Structure 1
């Protein structure tokens, strides 16, 4: 399905944000580097008590939202139109909150994704790029649509807006661009109160387009595409922009309107994907074939901050070539960075059997990874020592 593009005749000026580069290699903190020079990982599993309920939160780790105090998990059950609430202190189910899809408090039939805002409200995002802001009980407070003229004017050629996240207070939305012809190394900041926008340039991420794989039917009515991720992670009033194709991190400070490129050198893995692939292919099966090859190169996940130990953990992995009908196997790794994004330790963790580590949060110095354990919600916990 092709999303429509919106064109307007009036050109609206757009603020552009400059960036600087910080190279972290060779500046390692000796104290922290020594502390993690020979670290070990302890692993255990903890299950969530579901009571008498069947928890849809056990089905996948995609739609989980955790409060800043790490005490409560909210899971949006789209099919059941309800929010599952989990107490992360007691690791036990609390309640299910029904949410309307239609009517004055309806979040929409297409509200597939829910995000928890810093002020305690919830945002439901639909496939049609309509967003409903609600309180924690599902009462609609406001609505936003990501194709308002003030949002799109002047940047139509970049593609359609694709939601990344909200600012902590909910007054700003960050988006990247969806485009079948070329991926843009840019993020747009939408100020909902002022109805203004800024373009945040991420030039190193221009490499993402090398790994875009698109297919268009002969009559032009159908399209499919796989492409690298571009993600946003809040961090101490700033935002980190990352992609899975390379380890570089952009740090955006909204107060200073500044963007810094943080770079470090991995030694156990390449720093980025390097293969050459076709951007346009002849069939959907070709998309799968090329995507499988791309996945066999290194893939970087989001950096996650450990407040207790004052370090970032960043997992990476790559798929091994598939053998006959066997399941795909993976090699996985962990990198530890200090607060200045300097690499202070790294280790291969394939022997832990995690395949693609799916980190949900870090609590009390332990890394919690999502686990579906016989259709029950559970977590693998990793302690770095």
Structure 2
């Protein structure tokens, strides 16, 4: 879960199929080994404050581009040679500017052709890696009732393989918390709206925030999505399940699990609303993070399998400067699925004490961001004998 004040950055999704009655039996043996590698940045200081949150991987996993929102530069990291290969200065304003009308950009994505998508309210622009504008998608002009207003927010974009004119966009309605899919045809400048009424059950875990009795946002489950093999795979933090959108068949279906380690959903249900000035919110957040949170799926193309982490965070009584509880470590679980989402193995990974914001697969291994004395590093986790 996370705080949603102005907009949800990810999707809130739920299942459209019934749960299984019995807990599934699965191998709980996962053997791993860890190795840490450093990136040579030369004389440059890399931007690590965002923990690679604003970064994207190339299609072949040979490099990663990290976006520095402070000075509007990109840092291209060669993952094969583990070195910084180049930095590029982007323009803030003007014909090649990456800022929107409110002088802010909160999303960065590396596309399959190597170009970069920047997006936010009223901003949907594609640039090459040298900072030159390639295309203004102008989605706010194609769908003004959705993307031409600040009532809706685009949470994720997906290209469709072998159809460069088709673009899938998930949007979030801030007031209701509902989600829609907009299926764009960029050639004809049209779109189809796909409603998702089956995604409403996550609202059971939402907390409405009030400020002196007036609505002031919400706190609730988050979700994330990836595009693999013609399917958009959406997972959420509250339920042990996945929602799959088949792009060829234009169909939605779910897979769900109920295992002895991770059950079928979160156990903690927060109150329906809370006054922000009461101090209760930090206690709600603490209890939620101490409960299981299911993370996003990610794809191992070498072995054709999916991974997913889940996490329980531990807290002491110490607070940080913002009045939030400080993490004292985590229980980290790894689930391994085949390409058809059959669960192969699931176990607690005791070698991990925390889960970074950025992780991905490369050459069959899991790479996890690590800051080592303000130097970029990756912890490489090898999965043994699965």
Greater displacement, 145-154 / 50-59: 145-154
Equivalent residue for 1:77?
Answer: 68
Contact map agreement 2:29 2:346 (CA 8 A) in 1 = no
SS in 2 for 1:86: strand
Between the aligned partners of 1:264 and 1:164, the Cα distance in structure 2 is 25
State whether structure 2 residue 368 is matched by structure 1 residue 377.
Answer: no
Equivalent residue for 1:160?
Answer: 152
Contact map agreement 1:242 1:250 (CA 8 A) in 2 = yes
State whether structure 2 residue 172 is matched by structure 1 residue 172.
Answer: no
Contact map agreement 2:19 2:256 (CA 8 A) in 1 = yes
SS in 2 for 1:167: strand
CA gap 1:312/1:134 in 2 versus in 1, 3 angstroms = same
Q: Deviations over 1:182-215 (max 9, x none)?
A: 4225433344333212315262x42221222232
Between the aligned partners of 2:197 and 2:259, the Cα distance in structure 1 is 21
Contact map agreement 1:22 1:261 (CA 8 A) in 2 = no
Contact map agreement 1:55 1:84 (CA 8 A) in 2 = yes
Between the aligned partners of 1:186 and 1:279, the Cα distance in structure 2 is 23
Greater displacement, 106-115 / 234-243: 106-115
State whether structure 2 residue 215 is matched by structure 1 residue 216.
Answer: no
Contact map agreement 1:302 1:315 (CA 8 A) in 2 = yes
Between the aligned partners of 2:165 and 2:79, the Cα distance in structure 1 is 24
Equivalent residue for 1:265?
Answer: 258
Structure 1 regions of 5+ residues with no counterpart? 5-18
Specify which structure has the higher proportion of strand: 2
Structure 2 residue corresponding to 1:99, chosen from 62, 85, 90? 90
CA gap 1:43/1:152 in 2 versus in 1, 3 angstroms = same
Structure 2 regions of 5+ residues with no counterpart? 8-14, 320-325
Between the aligned partners of 2:280 and 2:142, the Cα distance in structure 1 is 37
Structure-2-length-normalised TM-score: 0.83
Between the aligned partners of 1:25 and 1:148, the Cα distance in structure 2 is 48
State whether structure 2 residue 48 is matched by structure 1 residue 49.
Answer: no
How many residue pairs get aligned? The number is 360
Between the aligned partners of 1:341 and 1:199, the Cα distance in structure 2 is 25
Equivalent residue for 2:201?
Answer: 207
Equivalent residue for 1:10?
Answer: none
Equivalent residue for 1:301?
Answer: 295
Structure 1 residue corresponding to 2:55, chosen from 53, 58, 64? 64
CA gap 1:146/1:296 in 2 versus in 1, 3 angstroms = farther
Structure-1-length-normalised TM-score: 0.83
State whether structure 2 residue 308 is matched by structure 1 residue 314.
Answer: yes
